[in-house]
Structures are given as structure tokens and as C-alpha cells.
Amino acid sequence: MAQPKKAASIWDVARLAGVSHQTVSRVVNGSPRVAAATRDKVLDAIAELGYRPNRLARSLAGGAVESVTVLTADTSLYGPEAALRGIEKAARSLDWSVQISVLDPADTHSDADIVARLPRAGEPTIIMAHDEPGMRAKQVLLDTQPQAMVAIGPYTAEELAASPWLVGMDDGKAAAEATKYLLDLGHRTVHHLAIPTSTGTFGGGKAHRAEGWARVLREAGREVPDPVPSGWTISEAFKAVQPLVADPSVTAILCGNDNLALGTMRAAHLAGRSVPGDLSIVGFDNTPFSAYTTPALTTVNQDFESVGRGAFELLRHRVDGSNPRPKPSWPEPELIVRETSGPPRSRS
């Protein structure tokens, strides 16, 4: 039944309580310099008017910042989605608000476009830098407001050392482990169905997972087959992986993520190849569905939610330096062996 008139401001509260607006501000912000009696009067007035501070005005006036903007390209991907969840949780616990803005890979964003996403100059920002638009945005903000940005992405130890604004996991190492596991199982080599690289064009930019995989094969003296490029979606993977499942000499495929693995399983099934008998499949990310496919997917667990939280903490540190520089702290990627991987069928 509230009249849709207009919200109460700090002045309305002050008038009703018979004090100055500044005193109201003190009460709202929990200043100790206010008499108990006055505080109660103000609190009553606040309750009666249903007053609540306008955050916009607050941050305009130079109060606490209390907001983060997340720039991401693909919210339907499990990784970014989980990381976003982590950011949101961490932010909420401190009463920060979270804005999201999606970078559409379809349209080309000028640098100005990207910056225009932010509600104001210097807005604290977290970028999901796992693909081309994300990398682009990362670069723009790095040039514009390096102190108020953090990027989430895969990294190598050297990259992390060089980039105090980077948070993420060592994808290369995780991929290496998974590859080693398959080799130890007795596979002659391991094929790779790869997620798009950060530059969009395969072979161009960084591809941490692919690099880790290739390194292990090289070190083991095995043949390094050409990685097969795929898009992010299951259906793209399904199409891309066809030549691999059709080739009986392929006995193990490391997939760039669980979506790709699911597409691969389906393709293998339709091609009449049994998993893991004829073909071992390993995914990446430990997406919720991966434990419930049949056969259940062997994959690499990644705690994206913790990474998101870590990114938020780092950002907070960089923006106001209040909290101590947080150390990245989350479980290392870990191989979870389920049912889609096994030794190759002994040949001849």
C-alpha cells in the first residue's frame, strides 16, 4: 500500500528526528560520536519513513566504493558462471553490489565501447579473460585503470609472477597431469579436442591446456597429433570431433572441457566406439553433470568458485589496499578418475 510518491532522503529523516542531516549520516554509518538518545530518535525516524541510503549518492560523495563490475563473454560456460558465483558471494558478504556486462563475441567492441560499460571511471572491475573479447577488455582496462582491475584466466607460473592483477589456475599443469595419466594407462599417444584460444584463431594465442598436453607428449617422446579445434558448445564439439572418433587408431582424447567431452562421448557412441573400451575420454572442469553421464566422465576438477572469490579479494586489495594482499588459496586442479578412461584394448 505504499504510495509510490518518492523515497525518503537523509534530509527527511533529519527533519522528522529533529536533527541535522549529518547526524543521520553518523547514525547510518555507525559513528560512535552520537548520543544514545539521539541515535534512537534517528533510528525511529528511519524506520518510520522506511529510509534507506541511496548507494549512488553515497559513492558519488566519495564514500566507500562498494561495487564491482564483472566483464565476461559467456555466462553459459560453467567456468565463468561458477567464478561469477564466487565473486557474487564474496561481494555480498561485504555488502558490495555486483554488476555484470557481457561482451558479445559477435560484435567487435572498440576500446571506448568496453570502457563505456563501466558505470564510472575507475570502477573496480573483474574480467573473465578466457577468450578474445575478454583478453581485449583486459588489455583496455590495463591501460586505463590498472589499479582497479583484476583478470581471471589460466596462467603459467611466470605469467602469474609478472601480473599482479591475474588470478586463476595453472591449466597447463592440469592438462599435463591428465595427459600423463592417459599415457601411463598405456595409450600410445593422446589426441586433443581443444577449446578456442584466447585470440579466437586457433594456433594464434595462448592455449594453456593444449600446451600442457603437447609438452607431456613431447617429453615422453610420443607423437604429438594435431590438436582438433572446437568451439565452446557441445554441438560444435560433436561436429569437430567426428574425424577423431572415426579413426580407430585414436584411443584416447583429452577434451578442453566437459562440454566437449560430452559431445565426444555422443559422437563415439554414434560411431559405434565403446567408451572406455575403444576410446578413453577425459574432460576438464568437473561440470556438475560429469559425474552422472553414462559412463561417468573422467575429468579435471577446478574450483572456479574459489577463484572467483580470490579475484574479488585481490581486487579489493588493489582498489583500497585495506585488506592484506591475499594469497591465492584454493585447491589445485585435480584429476578425478571415473568411468570414461581406461587402458587401451591390447592391440593384436
Partner DNA sequence: CCGAGTGATGTTAACGATCACTTATATTAT
Partner DNA sequence: ATAATATAAGTGATCGTTAACATCACTCGG
CA atoms of 310 and 296, how far apart (whole Å): 30
What, of DNA, a second copy, none, does residue 35 touch, CB below 5 to 8 Å by kind? DNA
CA atoms of 5 and 23, how far apart (whole Å): 25
What, of DNA, a second copy, none, does residue 301 touch, CB below 5 to 8 Å by kind? none
What's the closest the beta carbon of residue 24 comes to a second copy, in angstroms? 15
Residue nearer to a second copy on the CB measure, 17 or 70 = 70
What, of DNA, a second copy, none, does residue 37 touch, CB below 5 to 8 Å by kind? DNA
CA atoms of 186 and 212, how far apart (whole Å): 19
Residue nearer to a second copy on the CB measure, 38 or 145 = 145
Integer angstrom CA distances of residue 236 from 3, 53, 228: 53, 48, 12
Residue nearer to a second copy on the CB measure, 2 or 35 = 2
What, of a second copy, DNA, none, does residue 63 touch, CB below 5 to 8 Å by kind? DNA
Residue nearer to a second copy on the CB measure, 50 or 221 = 50
What's the closest the beta carbon of residue 326 comes to DNA, in angstroms? 24
What's the closest the beta carbon of residue 277 comes to a second copy, in angstroms? 15
Laid out side by side, the sheet with 280-282 consists of 228-229, 191-194, 252-255, 280-282
What would the grid cell of residue 315 be? 581486487
What's the closest the beta carbon of residue 148 comes to DNA, in angstroms? 14
**DSSP letters of 265-330?**
HHHHHHTT--TTTT-EEE-SB--GGGGTSSSPPBEEE--HHHHHHHHHHHHHHHHH--S--PPP-S
What's the closest the beta carbon of residue 322 comes to DNA, in angstroms? 13
What's the closest the beta carbon of residue 13 comes to DNA, in angstroms? 7
DSSP summary character for residue 218: H
Q: Are 90 and 308 in contact (CB under 8 A)?
A: yes
Task: Please give the residue ranges that form the binding site for a second copy (CB under 8 A).
Answer: 1-2, 4, 6-8, 50, 52, 54-57, 59-60, 75-76, 81-82, 84-85, 88-89, 92, 97-102, 104, 112, 115-117, 119-122, 143-147, 233-235, 238, 259, 262-263, 265-266, 269, 288-289, 291-294, 296
What's the closest the beta carbon of residue 180 comes to a second copy, in angstroms? 28
Element of type H or E holding 84: helix 78-93
Element of type H or E holding 139: helix 132-144
DSSP summary character for residue 254: E
The candidate with the shortest Cα–Cα distance to 137, out of 110, 174, 169, 98, is: 110
The 3-state DSSP class for residue 107 equals coil
Task: Please give the residue ranges that form the binding site for DNA (CB under 7 A).
Answer: 6-7, 9-11, 18-23, 25-26, 28-29, 32-35, 37-38, 51-54, 57-58, 60-63
Residue nearer to DNA on the CB measure, 118 or 314 = 118
Place of cell 536533527: 19
What's the closest the beta carbon of residue 52 comes to DNA, in angstroms? 7
Q: Are 100 and 126 in contact (CB under 8 A)?
A: no
What, of a second copy, DNA, none, does residue 15 touch, CB below 5 to 8 Å by kind? none
What, of a second copy, DNA, none, does residue 33 touch, CB below 5 to 8 Å by kind? DNA
Residue nearer to a second copy on the CB measure, 214 or 234 = 234
Residue nearer to DNA on the CB measure, 29 or 110 = 29
